[in-house]
Amino acid sequence: MIQELFKSFELGKLQLKNRIVMAPMTRSFSPGHVPNQKNIEYYRRRAVNGVGLIITEGTCVGHKAANGYPNVPFFYGEEALAGWQRVVDAVHAEGGKIIPQLWHVGGVRKDCLQPDESVPAYSPSGLLSPNKSNGIAMSQQDIEEVKQAFIEAAINAQKMGFDGIELHGAHGYLLDQFFWEKTNLRDDEYGGGLVSRTNFVVEVIRDIKTETGGDFPLVLRFSQWKLQNYASKLAQTPTELEQFLQPLADAGVDIFHCSTRRFWEPEFEGSDLNLAGWTKKLTGKPTITVGGVGLDGGFVDEEKRGMISHAGVATEQFELIEKALAGSDYDLVAVGRCLLQDPQWVHKLKAEAFSEMQAYTVESLKTLY
């Protein structure tokens, strides 16, 4: 019987009716980078169907090089913020909770993208990936400008009534590029060893907390893997992971969102704990696990970034999740593709109506429903 997933969760003012989180998923359905009525209904539909916490798709902060993809929503500017206000109001009207994911793509940015097509990529050392140049290395002034963009986005989120924020510090985008030794070759206070490479993000977190207060939840999404290298690891051992996480926890992270490709895989030899389990054990902070939840089927083509063409419902996974939640290995469970395909997935899970769940297909990526 599925019980643990439907227990409430509280962290200060953040009170969730269950442990199910909608994972952030880039959709590229915001022409002009402004949330529209389709976006509003997309999020409202998940709220009315029982998702405990919605994390929005990545939203670009107000820096000239933050954007890396067409038609993704911005989180700055009067028109875009008005669109997000309508989103948060719609979700709250249905009794849901929602936080925006704040995003800067860093070295991933290509030329000819809005808002100014002449702006190159900005990153710690002018690299897209190891030994592959793209754009420019950030100056101290650039660092301050990007920091301010994140702070302003967080302040706006709080003013608009969002239930917290998430910083996108995973998958090889800007914040993660500071973390990673192969894309951060700086010799100032933002480069160097594993701990020193957290300094930029630590400053962002501290400044946001100063402006928004201690009771406005801040989630940090991080990953060991990158879009450029699925096998990479920031931390090779639990000791290294603790060294990496502790400055971030001390700076004010309230929840760590631990991005893995398969949540059931142990992170280190000698323990069954996954990344979220180790992160909670080492920091004492609540954690979100994520990675293939509910999907029955493997990643059939590593060269195509793990895209799977079809996956059924993996009911046996919920036994693992229930056991982990009961043992307090982690606290929340993020679901991506299943919720993309089937907005009523949470209600069906609660009723254990597995046969009624819609199996994920890539066709669901082509529409916003």
Q: Which residues are the active-site residues?
A: 173
Q: Please state the separation of Cα 28 from the chain's center in Å.
A: 16
Residue 75 structure tokens: 């989180």
Q: How far is CA 26 from the centre of its chain?
A: 10
Are 338 and 294 in contact by the 8 Å Cβ rule? The answer is: yes
288 strand-pairing partners:
257, 332
347 sits in the region (left: phi over 0; alpha: psi -120 to 50; else beta) called: alpha
Closest to 109 (Cα-Cα) out of 131, 89, 134: 134
Place of tokens 């690299």: 127
3-state helix, strand, coil split of the chain in percent (to 5) is: 35, 20, 45
Query: In angstroms, rounded to a whole number, what is the distance separating the alpha carbons of residues 186 and 200?
Result: 12
The dihedral formed by the CA atoms of 240, 253, 338 and 351, expressed in degrees to the nearest 10: 110
| Whether the Cβ atoms of residue 94 and residue 41 lie closer than 8 Å to each other | no
Does an H or E element contain 26, and which? none
Coil, helix or strand at residue 80:
helix
The residues near 186 (Cβ < 8 Å, ≥ 6 apart) are 124, 125, 137, 192
